[in-house]
Amino acid sequence: MEAMLHKCRQIVEEIYNQFDASHDFAHIERVLKNAEEILQQESAADSGVVRLAVLLHDIDDAKYQTVGQRTASDILQIIGASNTLAQQVLACIESVSFSGGNAKELTSIEGAIVRDADRLDAIGAIGIARTFAFGGARGRKLYDMSETARATMSESDYRGKETASVTHFYEKLLLLKELMVTAEGKRLAEQRHDYMVGFLKQLEREIGVE
């Protein structure tokens, strides 16, 4: 497993570092750290599956797809993963995406760990930084207080409308604390969530919104 993880890491690092700063390899390293913390409390989970899924979880992200880019499935084959292992890893990855609140149902504790670990990196101080990094890369407004956050939306609605960065907090980031699955994920999300709430209150004060 360690040899596969090392080879996978080498392959994906080059790919991720072509993405913007919100989804680069530093993001993967932080999600790995989060996953390690959760794994300490979830001894029944297969750590190898979790680590591979974390390394590969954004490879097939439609926002960054380019012609000829290797898929997660391609990379699993290259590193010599068995069919069973590949299926376990890909099942974890499929359940990670928020998709406008339309995430796929979790089928394993490994999938829950990967999802929670990824969502932890979407909130708190780093979540704030990533949100504005992504918005800047896509030319989005910092904020638009006339914009109404959508309470419900389809996956295509979520991906299709380019809202201001602050609106994204209300459509996704502030919802994630309640969507954590593992006990450790829930615990770690509390402080990060509170930090975002404080940030948004300060932002409103600075731009003159009551």
Confidence of residue 68 (pLDDT cuts 50, 70, 90): confident
Question: Is pLDDT at 100 greater than 60 in this prediction?
Answer: no
As a whole number of Å, the end-to-end CA separation of the chain is 54
| CATH number of the 2-207 domain | 1.10.3210.50
Contacts 24+ apart (CB under 8 A), 110-113: 110/45, 110/46, 110/49, 110/50, 110/53, 111/53, 112/181, 112/182, 112/185, 113/35, 113/38, 113/39, 113/42, 113/45, 113/50, 113/182, 113/185
Per-residue pLDDT reduced to its tens digit, 12-64: 999 999 999 999 999 999 999 999 999 999 989 999 999 999 999 999 998 88
Q: Which residues contact 84 (CB under 8 A, 6 or more apart)?
A: none
pLDDT of residue 42: 95
The pTM of the full predicted model, rounded to 2 decimals, is 0.91
Residue type present at position 160: G
